[in-house]
């Protein structure tokens, strides 16, 4: 789970413009390969002198299944809905992410679920987004937007573990300041990687105002692949869930430290690739 989910959001690599005066290493300069039939010259804007921040996670390939589960109470029953999608990164730091939840009704009246696929390619400096499958009445289109071929950037890969540690510490500090018990969790395996976790739990309910909704929260982060691997919000046994209150759950499952199939990182055959306006 990396960026928010609006069409071609945060383009193309969750970049942030560099602010002078920060204690960062000197910017790197990277030039994308020459344009080709797969990466057209017209996709690239003119080079600029802007310095960006991004994380290039080289030599940390993996494939996994990202599972997002919603649970809510309706009519006295707990309804569970899970969406499973593919998440992957290759050794060159190309990433493939999918988001479910969409769909359409085909000509036979069947409801077809769709996935929105986002590919980030720091080698070509481009990012793609498309939806699969497409209905018979719609053209198969993939959107693309590219950064300049010559790009100046601050690589935050080396700072990933420090960032995660700072994030967990800040999470603990905020929770502790609000009367919530923080419990570091022993390292454990998720597929082929190890992860460190933290659990937070309300210290005591405010019983003077009646039943109080309580949740314990777990966050697990793997330094092996520099990824969040689990985020869970569990209702405590003595809590009373409010009707229709959703309890989100995210986990990377079947994590394998292997090189993904190259076809994951480019729109499928038959898709028309359309560049976005850079204005």
Helical ranges in 143-258 per DSSP H = 160-177
In this prediction, residues 6-31 reach a mean pLDDT of: 52
Confirm whether 111 is domain-assigned.
no
Residue with the bigger pLDDT between 249 and 273: it is 273
Read off the pLDDT of residues 104-136 as tens digits, 9 standing for 90 and up: 766 667 777 888 999 999 999 999 999 987 776
β-strand 141-146 against 272-275: which pairing, if any? parallel
With 70 as the cut, is the pLDDT of residue 244 above it?
no
Using only C-alpha atoms, the chain has a radius of gyration, in whole angstroms, of 22
Domain assignment of residue 35, yes or no: no
Share of the chain above pLDDT 90, in %: 37
Of the candidates 249, 270, 208, 221, the residue with the CA atom closest to the CA atom of residue 84: 249
Q: Is 278 contained in some domain?
A: no
In a domain, 105, yes or no: no
**169 is a domain residue:** yes
3-class secondary-structure state, position 41: helix
Measured distance CA(235)–CA(57) in Å, rounded: 35
Going by pLDDT thresholds of 50, 70 and 90, the confidence category of residue 204 is: low
- Within a domain: 99: no
Inform me whether the pLDDT recorded for 175 exceeds 70: no
Say which residue, 216 or 129, is predicted with more confidence. Answer: 129
What does pLDDT average to over the chain? 77
pLDDT at 51 over 60: yes
Task: Indicate if the pLDDT at residue 156 is higher than 90.
Answer: no
Mean pLDDT, residues 140-166 = 75
58-72 residue pLDDT tens: 899 999 999 988 877
Residues of the domain holding 164: 159-256
pLDDT of residue 138: 76
Number of compact structural domains in the chain: 1
What pLDDT band is residue 17 in, cutting at 50, 70 and 90?
very low
β-sheet bridge partners, residue 125:
none
In sequence order, the 6+-apart residues with CB closer than 8 A to the CB of 129 are: 7, 8, 116, 117, 118, 119, 142, 143, 144
Residue 98 has pLDDT above 60, yes or no: yes
Highest mean pLDDT: which range of 108-112, 127-131, 151-155, 169-173 = 127-131
Residue 13's pLDDT band (cuts 50, 70, 90): very low
User: What tokens were used for 145?
Assistant: 């937007």
Q: Is 18 helix (H, G, I), strand (E, B) or coil?
A: coil
Q: What is the pLDDT of residue 23?
A: 59
Residue 158 has pLDDT above 70, yes or no: no
Identify whether 197 is part of a domain: yes
Is the pLDDT at 176 greater than 70? The verdict is no
What per-residue confidence (pLDDT) applies to 5? 29
Look at residue 240 and tell me if it is in a domain.
Answer: yes
């Amino acid at each position: 789970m990396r960026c928010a989910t609006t069409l071609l959001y945060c383009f193309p690599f969750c970049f942030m413009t560099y602010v002078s005066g920060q204690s960062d290493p000197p910017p790197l300069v990277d030039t994308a390969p020459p344009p080709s039939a797969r990466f057209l010259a017209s996709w690239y804007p003119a080079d600029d002198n802007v310095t960006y921040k991004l994380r290039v996670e080289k030599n940390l390939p993996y494939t996994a299944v990202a599972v997002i589960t919603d649970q809510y109470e309706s009519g006295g029953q707990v309804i569970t809905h899970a969406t499973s999608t593919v998440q992957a990164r290759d050794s060159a730091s190309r990433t493939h992410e999918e988001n479910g939840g969409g769909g359409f009704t085909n000509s036979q009246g069947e409801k077809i679920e769709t996935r929105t696929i986002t590919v980030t390619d720091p080698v070509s400096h481009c990012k793609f987004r498309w939806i699969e499958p497409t209905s018979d009445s719609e053209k198969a289109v993939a959107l693309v937007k590219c950064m300049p071929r010559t790009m100046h950037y601050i690589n935050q890969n080396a700072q990933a573990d420090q960032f995660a540690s700072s994030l967990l510490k800040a999470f603990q500090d905020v929770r502790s300041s609000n009367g919530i018990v923080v419990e570091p969790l022993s390292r454990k395996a998720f597929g082929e990687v190890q992860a460190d976790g933290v659990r937070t739990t309300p210290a005591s309910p405010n019983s003077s105002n009646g039943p109080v909704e309580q949740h314990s929260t777990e966050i697990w982060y793997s330094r092996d692949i520099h990824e969040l691997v689990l985020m869970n919000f569990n209702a405590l046994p003595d809590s009373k869930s409010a009707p229709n209150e959703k309890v989100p759950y995210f986990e990377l499952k079947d994590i394998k430290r292997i090189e993904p199939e190259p076809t994951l990182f480019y729109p499928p055959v038959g898709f028309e690739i359309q560049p976005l306006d850079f204005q």
